[in-house]
Structure 1
Amino acid sequence: MAHYYTYQSIGGMMMFQQLQVEHSLFHIDENHMDQFKHLAAKWQTILPNIHAKCLNELDSWAAVLNNWFFLKSQHHHNLVLNPIKTFDYSINTFLIDELQRIQIIRKINKNDNDDLYYFIAFQLGNAIDLWIYNTIQKSAEADVLRQARRSYFLAYLHDRCQVYNASFYHNQTRMLKILAQTIRTQNCFRVAVHSAVNQALDMYEQYFKE
């Protein structure tokens, strides 16, 4: 079996260490968060690079976090989406529903393996981020990408009457219409997901093979 890797933080705390329970779309506690951070640290030298095309770096790590909990939720029924956030993060809940329809995701969900889930969650985070960026960038709504790099997963904590949050919900709606239409008429999302999962499986097998 491949050896385990350790890492040392260069210049201070690694970005994923700044994640909070509030970044999760799922009902979690600090123990769940510690599990994720342990895996992120464990595999830092193998999976170090977050693309952060649409979101800032911390929110991009939060996307990986939420992918990981999504995969785990298929086996751990105490991991459920926070209903308060299903409205706030309509794009994310929509994409979670779409992921559940993809055969390769359903096959992966037959396992219950935190390390494997982490590899897949990380690669999905990068792949979906890039897919969203490319899809929106080619549309008439490309201007929303400039605002998306502001605080995203903690935006729900702000008063919805504030100007920023009014814009936040409006932009979610604009982007969701484009992404949903693309998924309904093209195969690019499914292709991106399959490619990400297969890449994760190849990497996982490489580092865990006898």
Structure 2
Amino acid sequence: MFEQLQVEHSLFYIDQDHMNRFKNLAAKWQSIFPDVCAKCLNNVDAWANVLNNWVFLKSQQTDELILNPSKAIYYSINTFLLDELQKIQIIQKVKECENDDFQYFAAFHLGNAIDLWVYDTLEKSAESDLLKPQNRIPYYLAFLNDDFQTDNALFHKNQTRAIKILAQVIRSQNCFRITVSSAVNRAVDMYDHYVTK
């Protein structure tokens, strides 16, 4: 499925070279990571989560990888979660690491873990209708639709509803930080097993 990703799936300013690097990594490690967890999104968008996590982790190394401000406004749930990731010390260490392979391992595990955490958190909330299958339309390319730009679009309302729940859980519990740390630790273990053994 990662082959279907386009530059437009990125929330960051990237070019085709960045996309090709990511796809080469995905192909290289496909036997270890055959497919992503897709509880909240369709499969292509779940791969886009991994892509965006990888670019986010690489953004420490270069000034050119910055969040696209027009997308940041509309994909507010992603911006919120990236801001929360930025506050976690183990993520800072991964961002400082200049190793494409390890950052891919970390991005993959983060993509799966955060998707599952968001799903579980929303499922337990009063807003579990956000998880209904009809809400799993293409997500990262939604900005290409004409009605996406309107403030009253269901897309934006759903983002706002989800952020309220996720923010409340993050502020009152430690589960997001634990989820993220566990994902990075799994990435370290797998990297040590498959690459540095």
Instruction: Name the TM-score class by shorter chain.
Output: over 0.9
After superposition, the C-alpha distances for 1:99-143 in whole angstroms (9 at most, x for unaligned) are 111011112222111000100000000000000000000001000
Is the contact made by 2:143 and 2:149 (CA closer than 8 Å) also made in structure 1?
no
Which of 115, 121, 143 is residue 135 of structure 1 equivalent to? 121
Larger Rg belongs to: 1
- Equivalent residue letter for 2:159: Q
How far did 1:97 drift?
Answer: 0.7
Cα drift, residue 178 of structure 1: 0.4
Structure 1 equivalent of residue 52 of structure 2: 66
Where is the helix percentage greater, Structure 1 or Structure 2?
A: 2
CA distance in 1, matches of 2:96, 2:148: 43
Find the counterpart in structure 1 of residue 104 from structure 2: 118
> Which of 68, 75, 81 does residue 67 from structure 2 map onto?
81
In the alignment of these two chains, the number of paired residues is: 195
Confirm or deny: 8 A CA contact 2:59 2:95 kept in the other structure: no
5 Å-filtered alignment, 1:49-198, equals 49-146=35-132, 147-160=134-147, 166-198=153-185
Aligned alpha-carbon RMSD (Å): 1.4
State whether structure 2 residue 6 is matched by structure 1 residue 16. Answer: no
TM-score, reference length from structure 2: 0.95
Secondary structure of the equivalent of 1:150? Answer: coil
TM-score normalised by structure 1 residue count: 0.90
Gaps of 5+ in 2: none
The alpha-carbon deviation at position 76 of structure 1 amounts to 1.3
Aligned to 1:6: none
- Identity percentage over the alignment? 64
Per the TM alignment, residue 170 of structure 1 is displaced from its structure 2 partner at its CA by 0.5
2-structure distance, mates of 1:142, 1:49: 25
Q: Structure 1: which 5+ runs fail to align?
A: 1-14
Partners of 1:160 and 1:174 in 2: CA distance: 19
What is the Cα deviation at residue 162 of structure 1?
8.2
**d(CA) in 2 for partners of 1:150, 1:67:** 21
In 2 relative to 1, CA 162–82 (structure 1 residues): closer, same or farther, beyond 3 Å?
Answer: closer
**Structure 1 ranges of 4+ moved more than 4 A:** none
State the AA in 2 paired with 1:138: K
Query: Structure 1 residues 31, 173: closer, same or farther in 2, change over 3 A?
Result: same
1:44 match: secondary structure: coil
